[in-house]
Amino acid sequence: MRSPYGKFHCAIIMDGNGRWAEMRGLPRIVGHQRGAEAVRTAVEAAPAVGITDLTLYAFSSDNWKRPAAEVSALMKLLALYLESEAAACARKGVRLSVIGRRDRLSTDLRNLIEDSERLTAPGESVHVRLAIDYSSRDSLLRAAAACSGHELTRESLSAHLPAPDVDLLIRTAGEQRLSDFLLWECAYAEFVFTDRMWPDFSAEDLRAATDLFHSRSRRFGGLPLYTLQAGDHHEASRS
């Protein structure tokens, strides 16, 4: 099923897994497990609403501050996700990439990431980027360093960043901040904040967010087309 809209890049801050579990008297890891199921739902629903690039905030560089047991469980869950989903993604034309640091990940997880990226590289349906050990500020510093000795422009800096400009940014669980996620790439993104916890985020929620996105007028600092047309007509009537 093709989307009636144009193609675009959607980024999601998948928030609320731990709170979802705590509200139900469950261990926090159960919320993360349900969150992994919501990832599968979003990836499967993305092409139908026109999403060709989907970037998901899975684990930030600041998340290392969490309790060691929770971090360990999250890393195991990430490994299980890659093991279980890579082959299915390859069959469905989904390309998987991981953005962020890798030097602090285990050797086994790094190998899984590389295997998943290699297996799914031919995918053209949707490019899913998982942000793991990711910090946008650190990414910007690395991009600026890569431009050292060359002219630093918006274009040259963007070329060294791991994701394209974002069109739609969704954050779940009621929070309304970027949390060091794709700061440069979100310069002209439309934001949609929802109270829905990530484990409960459905294909219908994704469609509703994209419908809201497409209902907005994106001017990128300019004026709406109808305003420009009205102004041109007014000037012509005076000449």
Sign (positive/negative) of CA torsion 45, 47, 51, 57? Answer: positive
- 175-216 per-position pLDDT tens digit: 999 999 999 999 999 999 999 999 999 999 999 999 999 998
Q: What is the DSSP letter of 185?
A: T
What does the pLDDT read at residue 5? 60
Tell me what percent of the residues of the chain surpass a pLDDT of 90. Answer: 86
Strand partners, 187: none
Q: How far apart are CA 11 and CA 101, in angstroms?
A: 18
Give pLDDT, residue 133. Answer: 98
> Whole-angstrom Cα distance, residue 225 to residue 239?
21
pLDDT computed for residue 220 by the predictor: 75
Known active-site residue 15: yes
Residue 41's CB: how many other CB atoms inside 10 A? 15
Rounded Cα distance between 74 and 152, Å, is 37
Q: What are the tokens at 74? A: 């999250």
237 vs 220, more confident: 220
Radius of gyration of the chain (CA): 20
Using the predicted structure, report yes or no on whether residue 4 has a pLDDT greater than 70: no
For the residues 120-137, what does the mean pLDDT come to? Answer: 98
Domains of the chain: 8-238 (3.40.1180.10)
89 three-state secondary structure: helix
Percent of the chain's residues with pLDDT above 70: 91
Q: pLDDT-based confidence at 236, cuts 50/70/90?
A: very low
Distance of alpha carbon 68 from alpha carbon 105, whole angstroms: 14
Catalytic residue among 15, 53, 133, 167: 15
The catalytically annotated residue of 62, 63, 108, 232 is 63
Whether residue 37 contacts residue 200, with contact meaning beta carbons closer than 8 Å, is answered with no
Cβ atoms of 106 and 96 closer than 8 Å: no
Check residue 217 and give its pLDDT. 81
Grouping H, G, I as helix, E, B as strand and the rest as coil, residue 229 is helix
Q: What is the pLDDT of residue 225?
A: 55
Give strand pairing partners of 54.
10, 128
Instruction: Tell me if 198 sits within 8 A of 15, measured CB to CB.
Output: yes
Q: Tell me which of 224 and 53 has the higher pLDDT.
A: 53
Q: How confident is the model at residue 6 (pLDDT cuts 50, 70, 90)?
A: confident
pLDDT surpassing 60 at residue 1: no
Residue (of 173, 135, 145) closest to 23 by Cα position? 173
Q: Is 63 a catalytic residue?
A: yes
